[in-house]
Amino acid sequence: MALDSSARQPYICSVMKNSKHQLDIIGSRRHRCAGSIWTASFDQRGVGRAAFCGVRSRSGAAAVHVRETGLILGRMQEELWNHRSRRSLRWVWLSPDADPFVPGARDLVEPTLAAARVLLEQGLGVLLQTRGGGPSTLGLMELAREFPEMMRVDVGFFSSEVKLVRAWEAGCAPVGARLALLEDLSTLGVEVHARIGPIIPLINDEPRPLRRLVRDLARHGVQSVIPQWLDDAPGLTRQIQREVSKSRARIAHGWLHMEGAREGLGPRRVPEHVRRHGIARLHEAADAAGIALMVCRCASDLGTGACLSAPAGMDQKRQLDLFAEIA
């Protein structure tokens, strides 16, 4: 998740039965490249048991909350009624703090799909990010058949090497299942992107496995790849040490604490000059595979685009609807 740690804020939007304090599900947060974006969040457990997940290292087990779908939907309907008057609410990043489609998050599938349907039926676009695939995404495929032009799904990958996937992406779907998900969604007309990362130099940036991964993505219908590098988060290197190894944690810590790792008030991250070297390597792999490399402004000073945006099909659908009304 594919989840972008730079976009996460230390809050959980929750709806709890008999709670005196209800926090909003629909809210906005700032992102490096996209500015202020709308999100719908009701859980904060992160991405499976991925060792690199900053949501997990920051939140801990205390942030895992399972709630009744009816309560979530009721609260969402109320909030949407209040927010729709704001003209900026056109699309929503759904579940930015938890991946509902990884195998270990079955309790999140139903509320997430129900929330997505509420948003889509009210004409709002939906962005989802996942490292899931297989049976847990069957409901997602049903939604995609109904609302293909209003959805965007980004699927994350750490590596093509099995040993790295097992060590770093515990609890996530096998790479093959994720590739199949991308291909199936693309066939239905859903806008899909592959996110490679978080890239940690000397761990998952070796040229040959990267080229193999990009080539596999191209073979499964992916048109563009979005690279991401490791961002720091409270407790992250300790989590990597505990779940992967002390030596890997040292490598991650080294990149996040070398000169140039601190940029303004944001979290420590792999330094810009190192990221530029990785971008050049990825450009070679993408060019060889015949797909585009989309370098986001939040990934590098070389970036020109935003990695978070409304589903591209929404504008096309609006134009077709307008033509239909005129006719």
Question: Is the CB of residue 271 less than 8 Å from the CB of residue 260?
Answer: yes
Q: Coil, strand or helix: which one is 112?
A: helix
CA atoms within 13 A on the CB side of 318: 11
The predicted structure's pLDDT at residue 28:
85
| Token code pair at residue 180 | 């199949």
The predicted structure's pLDDT at residue 86:
62
Q: Kindly report, residue by residue over 183-207, the tens digit of the pLDDT.
A: 999 999 999 999 999 999 999 999 9
Question: Is the CB of residue 48 less than 8 Å from the CB of residue 102?
Answer: yes
Amino acid symbol at 213: L
The predicted structure's pLDDT at residue 87:
63
Residue 21 phi, psi dihedral angles, 5° rounding = -120, 110
Q: What is the mean pLDDT of the chain?
A: 86
Q: CA-to-CA distance for 123 and 281, rounded, in angstroms?
A: 40
The predicted structure's pLDDT at residue 315:
64
Residue 91 has pLDDT above 60, yes or no: yes
The predicted structure's pLDDT at residue 5:
39
The predicted structure's pLDDT at residue 313:
85
- Which residue segments constitute the domains of the chain, with CATH numbers given? 11-305 (3.20.20.70)
